[in-house]
Structure 1
Amino acid sequence: MVELKGNANADKLFELLLTRVGHQGDVFGKEYTISEIETLIPYNTSGIIKTESYHYAMTSMFSGQKGRDYFIFSNAILKDKFTELANSGNRNNHAKNTFYGDEKVRINPKYLELPNGLIPYSDVNSVRILPMSGSDPEFTGSSIEEVQKWFINVLPYREYNFKRGLNSEHGTLVLFQYNAHVIASAVLDERIDFESKLGGVYRGAYRFIPSSIAIFDSINSQEMNSIWNCFKGFSQTHKKLDLYNYIDFIKLIANRQIRFAVLDDTEESYQDAIEQTQLDSTVEVNDEPREPVGTSTRGQSERWKRNNITSKKAIVLADYKCEYDESHSSFTSKVTGKNYVEAHHLIPMEFQEQFNRSLDVEANIISLCPLCHKAVHHASLDKIEQIIRDLYQKRKDRLTKCEIEIDYKRLLSYYN
């Protein structure tokens, strides 16, 4: 479960709601009317003194004000309606019941304690179908099972080229259509548009979050229609699907032998995935704030997800050199043909909960030779201080651009 968007009355009301629904069993995907939500957190138990303050907090809780995304609406335009009400000086704080009381919502699953500890794709902002071409040289004559192997063994380490791109943004859940079935899914990280067509064919490429790439027992048209009534069959169009019903899709694939491409989250496998990742040598990075991606659960432990593509970009930008001391060299990698280096998060990912912005950004990822990487974890405190002080001075301005604020003393305490 992720942190709330603030500490205003609206956020406190939502926190109270989570406590109340937590006693109702499995609420993942459960529908509520807006009036039912209010009965769960009535004024007399809210702790808010003034009734008008309570009604305003309720309106704000349903809105997108201050980045709030606590609910998914059956009628998608209502979030904008509530945001307008919350921001209006002449607001009608009772409109939530007068006009919208019977409208249905679901609690955004990213804020729930989810069943089984892990539900795939709890944080999604839109859903699109991406038809795959059977005439693509990479897939010609391939069965569904053969293409699914490509998703597991190849896509986590490279980009997905497109001829005609989706008009989608980071956080879009992409459902891959092949042979009239949905066979795989992944969350879009970024879309890249080429200046000129690659091979005279491809206009651009997608990068997907490697840990989000998954395959499952394929889903046919009838099953898609049972979730999205508006779905009338597969075609070559990039269909946009209603976000409200994606929770039902998640429930379906969670019981369809879902297999993720990146299962082993050990340090060794993470560094190996970075090695295998293929990127253009002309990588460009904009240091800007990003939202944390979320956690993955493996066995009894929970880790914040790390994107091997992001780490590879940081290494390419460093030109495969050790950023503590560029004179350090190790050996030539048999995979890249370059000096072997490893990715290190200057602010360790285990402290992500202490920050509102993602720590898995290029500004926080350092390219280190294996010896320096070992030293920063296992050397004497004097040596660790020497390395961290140097790296902090080199990166503090870039971290600030990403809205990651930290002083040297606090950073060093993470290594003690």
Structure 2
Amino acid sequence: KFSSDEAYRNKKKPHLYPNGDLLILVDKSIYNAVSASINQYVLDVGRDGYWATIHVFYSGTPADVRSYIKKRKPVGVLLVGSIPAPWFELDNDFHGVHSEFPCDLYYMDINGNWSDPDNDDKFSDHTGNVDPEIWVGRIWTPTSNGNDTTLINDYFKRNHKFRLGMLGHARSALSYPDDDWQHFDDCALDHQFPASVITKYTSPTVTDADLYKSEVNSLRSWVQLCAHSSTQSHGFTVGPNKEYISTPYFRDTNPPNAHFYNLFCCGPGRFTSNNYLAGWYIFDKTGGGVNHGLTAIASTKSGSMLLFEDFYYPLGQGKVIGDAFVDWWKARGPVHEHGERCWYYGLVLLGDPTLTWWKGAVPQLKQPQKEDVFHHWPRKIQLRWDPVNISGVKYNVEVDAFGAIKAGKWAEETGQSFVNYHNITKIQLTTLS
């Protein structure tokens, strides 16, 4: 629950929670060990306008989980730990093979028809309204079958720091398409960022493993990698040869340092496999450097996201990653043809769907100090903060006052505001009331 200063947030009111309901499903075997982290997350997303509730998962099938979600009609779901994975199977997948893979679209599309005619616990058809209604994110660690509580607690600690502006931020992106995809150019990242802050490497003579190691180690908002991959490695074409980056590099040697990733790579998101590579983009074992990753779009099979503009455009309009991912799916149309299933049905959102790059660009308040009291007259207050590292940034400051709008209440509690200052270009403000 929120503390006494924010106790009004403990009641579900539309003006405080305009973003809707968020379900957090936590595996029962780890709940006690991660409950403090989950409780902090509930407060964090609550301040962002989500009414988050915690639900402990004891047992059940993917159908049970989907039914539970559908009854509660949330805007999104965060699955923490080894919540069951729905599986899909395809005949005549890429290269004519039969494939079986985790498919979280099953939890996102709660109104469509999913069928398993041979009763092998793997869906093989999807009809009706195939558009997803909600977003789903997974906190599934690459160790301990998704239930490594040390990694989960560390993830939520970094998530909290990011929201406070304490994990760094950068309005910048990296586009890194290896040889076969050099024509992807900036991968439509210019729908989210100005071209001037996008670094792109497209020449086959340049895009090798060592350069990617160097670039992904830089603090950036987004990284888009396009490379032949597997569950535990990326492969880069260098002339007639291949260079590889495998799980041990990110896990043991040098973790990546961007916050968000779109991995156009076959298979690294197969979270049901131990040490799956995409997991080490957002989880951080003890020792070595600090992993800044928070969310990654990846695939549990051959295939990945295409038509990136349908994802990056809503992000550029201010939407969070989960909402942008739902928009991308809806742009695929009312029917998913076989080719689309081959490319897209393995897509999974790893990490927190309620984030986007600018949520980490939070100025650090230096004055006044916490618990300072202003009961003098006139109430002259000087506010001062450290700048964020964004060129041409302007700040907005909202000042609330207890009892100023309605006796015994904060202005925010009443759905109103007391005083707002907009478009401030300096890093200080003096108010007089």
TM-score (norm 2): 0.30
State the structure with bigger RCO (CA 8 A, min sep 6), 1 or 2: 2
Structure with more of its chain in strand, by fraction: 2
Task: Give the structure with the larger helix fraction.
Answer: 1
